């Protein structure tokens, strides 16, 4: 029998709440001293969370146990959680949108860079093909005086492939006296940034003396004039020096 409710509700005092499915009936049938239940309250038809506890007050002369219940509106109980879930959902949605936009922007830029790289490679291939047709020795060196590129005429003179040439130095292809002269010119071009135009004489492995007119210029890799290396064009100027 429900004999007290605070705050008071009209029409509930004296109500028999020992009805099938009610919180009271479920608590009594469980045999537990205390438990928490959620659902519709039988007496008020409200959806609430209710904590029930069975007590046996020794100071009160009672032949039955007393059940005390405290409840809260279920929506109020879950309101902070729902607000937090809503905030997290909105934030997650914003992150997803930002991620999708960032991925789209990255992929678009990546495709653009790939197209530009493909165009640059095609242009470089055409330029290299054109240089291979010129009957002049054309090559590039880095700041460490190592060969990084040579056209076909130069490769045929050095008797090596493009892969074999990369990283090589003058000592591999020229006699010591020519190497000294080449190093002096390279130092001015690669270290001091000078443009040079000088006559180079070299004795080949076949015993023939070759004379070249070598024009060198530094290569800058950025607008701050940071030198990457140097390039050279060396047309032969002696009868025995043919490409």
Q: Per CATH, which fold does 127-234 belong to? A: Beta-Lactamase (3.30.450)
- Please indicate, yes or no, whether the overall pTM of this predicted structure exceeds 0.95: no
Degrees to nearest 5, angle at CA 65 with 62 and 68: 115
Instruction: Tell me the average pLDDT of the chain.
Output: 88
Instruction: Give per-residue pLDDT as tens, 114-144.
Output: 999 899 888 888 888 888 888 899 999 998 9
**Is the pLDDT reported for residue 97 higher than 90?**
yes
User: 241: pLDDT confidence band, cut at 50, 70 and 90?
Assistant: very low
User: 9: pLDDT confidence band, cut at 50, 70 and 90?
Assistant: confident
Give the C-alpha distances (Å, rounded to integers) separating 85 from 76, 80, 162. 15, 8, 63
CATH 3.30.450.20 residue window(s) in the chain: 127-234
Strands 209-220 and 34-40: unpaired
**Is the pLDDT reported for residue 68 higher than 90?**
yes
Instruction: Give per-residue pLDDT as tens, 211-226.
Output: 888 999 998 876 666 7
Instruction: Give per-residue pLDDT as tens, 177-200.
Output: 999 999 999 999 988 889 999 998
Residues in Cβ contact with 232 at an 8 Å cutoff, skipping those fewer than 6 apart: 137, 138, 139, 140, 141, 214, 215, 216, 217
Is residue 50 within 8 Å of residue 81, measured between CB atoms?
no
Peptide bond into 7 cis (omega under 30): yes
Three-class secondary structure of residue 14 per DSSP:
coil
Return the pLDDT at 238. Answer: 54
Degrees to nearest 5, angle at CA 132 with 210 and 143: 70
Looking at the chain, the whole-number percentage of residues with pLDDT higher than 90 is 53
User: 243: pLDDT confidence band, cut at 50, 70 and 90?
Assistant: very low
Quote the DSSP letter at residue 120: H
User: 88: pLDDT confidence band, cut at 50, 70 and 90?
Assistant: very high
- Burial label, 150 (beta-carbon count in 10 A; 0-12, 13-18, 19+): buried
User: 227: pLDDT confidence band, cut at 50, 70 and 90?
Assistant: confident
Return the pLDDT at 111. Answer: 92
Structure-model confidence comparison of residues 222 and 95, the more confident one: 95
**Is the pLDDT reported for residue 38 higher than 50?**
yes
């Amino acid at each position: 029998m429900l004999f007290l409710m605070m705050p008071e509700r009209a029409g509930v005092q004296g109500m028999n709440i020992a009805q099938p499915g009610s919180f009271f009936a479920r608590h009594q049938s469980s045999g537990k001293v205390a438990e928490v239940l959620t659902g519709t309250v039988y007496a008020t038809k409200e959806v609430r969370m209710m904590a029930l506890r069975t007590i046996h007050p020794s100071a009160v002369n009672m032949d039955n146990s007393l059940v005390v219940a405290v409840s809260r509106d279920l929506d109020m109980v879950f309101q902070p959680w729902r607000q937090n879930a809503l905030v997290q959902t909105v934030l997650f949605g914003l992150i997803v949108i930002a991620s999708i936009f960032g991925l789209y922007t990255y992929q678009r830029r990546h495709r653009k860079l790939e197209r530009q790289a493909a165009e640059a490679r095609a242009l470089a291939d055409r330029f290299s093909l054109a240089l291979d047709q010129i009957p002049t020795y054309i090559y590039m060196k880095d700041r460490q005086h190592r060969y990084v590129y040579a056209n076909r005429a130069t490769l045929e003179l050095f008797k090596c492939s493009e892969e074999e040439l990369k990283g090589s130095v003058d000592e591999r292809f020229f006699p010591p006296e020519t190497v000294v002269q080449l190093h002096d010119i390279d130092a001015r071009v690669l270290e001091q940034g000078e443009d040079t135009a000088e006559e180079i004489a070299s004795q080949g492995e076949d015993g023939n003396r070759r004379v070249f007119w070598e024009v060198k210029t530094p290569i800058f890799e950025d607008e701050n004039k940071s030198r990457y290396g140097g390039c050279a064009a060396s047309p032969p100027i002696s009868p025995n020096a043919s490409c």
